[in-house]
A and B are shown apart, each in its own frame.
Chain A
Amino acid sequence: DAKTTQPPSMDCAEGRAANLPCNHSTISGNEYVYWYRQIHSQGPQYIIHGLKNNETNEMASLIITEDRKSSTLILPHATLRDTAVYYCIVRPWVTQGGSEKLVFGKGMKLTVNP
């Protein structure tokens, strides 16, 4: 079972920041938070991951609370092409005996409106 909970859907206006929440209250100290998205009829696309520090790349920013029980993915300037299902996944370090597999939940459908 997925260890994360996300709202089922969210709308955002084009050009505005999209803040996608994720709860992972049972996260362990050796578990990373990963975000993927899946645009209709495509394979999942990796976005970003982090352990405890905030992370930023060319696609998004990831803000993880100090207690690590929740996180927020931020798309700073949402476009219509960002409409997709977004998955928040927690996964332990494989080198510490964690399973290699990703456990996907239902994700959250983000719709960016013109």
Chain B
Amino acid sequence: GAGVSQSPSNKVTEKGKDVELRCDPISGHTALYWYRQSLGQGLEFLIYFQGNSAPDKSGLPSDRFSAERTGGSVSTLTIQRTQQEDSAVYLCASSSRTEETQYFGPGTRLLVL
């Protein structure tokens, strides 16, 4: 079946602009996660959704970052007033209620100039 999909696959933006990154989880998966991976760094957790609510937002690095999920499916990660340090690969994962294994999408590569 279809895996996690993310769009766009690549995004180049100018410092100060807002960007929206989209994640489509595996059909039927109730949990959705955002992570990011900066150049040469490990993967760091950003936020977790169960259904449409976000019980854990502890990884969001600043108030410029926000995320929402509607209809228990698609999620959007928004970065306002982008900075160069926001350049990274943003990864989305999803899991089902019965099987807690997280499956990752291909990521969105964000470059802030």
Contacts and interface: CB of A to CB of B under 8 A. Distances in A.
Contacts of B77: none
Contact of A94 (B4, B45, B100, B104): B100
A43 B105 contact: yes
Interface string B19-31: 0000000000001
A105 B79 CA distance: 25
Interface in A1-52: 34, 36, 42-46, 49
Interface stretch (A58-66, A68-76, A95-103): A95-103
Contacts, number: 48
Interface residues of B, number: 23
A34 B99 CA distance: 13
Interface string A98-113: 0111111111000000
Interface of B: 4, 31, 33, 35, 42-45, 48, 50, 55-56, 59, 91, 93, 100-107
Interface of A: 34, 36, 42-46, 49, 93-94, 99-107
